[in-house]
Amino acid sequence: MRQCAAFMTAHDFRTLALSFDGAIERGHMGHPDFRANGRIFATLQADDESGMIKVPPADQAELLRLDRRAFTPASGAWGRQGCTMVRLKDADAATVRAAMTLAWELATSKPPARRRATTR
28: CATH? 3.90.1150.30
Longest pairwise C-alpha distance within the chain: 55
Is there a contact between 70 and 86 (Cβ–Cβ < 8 Å)? yes
Q: Which residues contact 12 (CB under 8 A, 6 or more apart)?
A: 88, 93
- Structure confidence at residue 3 (pLDDT): 47
pLDDT confidence bin for 14, thresholds 50/70/90:
very high
pTM, two decimals, is 0.86
Domain that holds residue 104: 10-109
Total count of domains within the chain: 1
Give domain status of residue 114, yes or no: no
Give tens-digit pLDDT for 29-69.
889 999 999 999 999 999 999 999 999 999 999 999 999 99
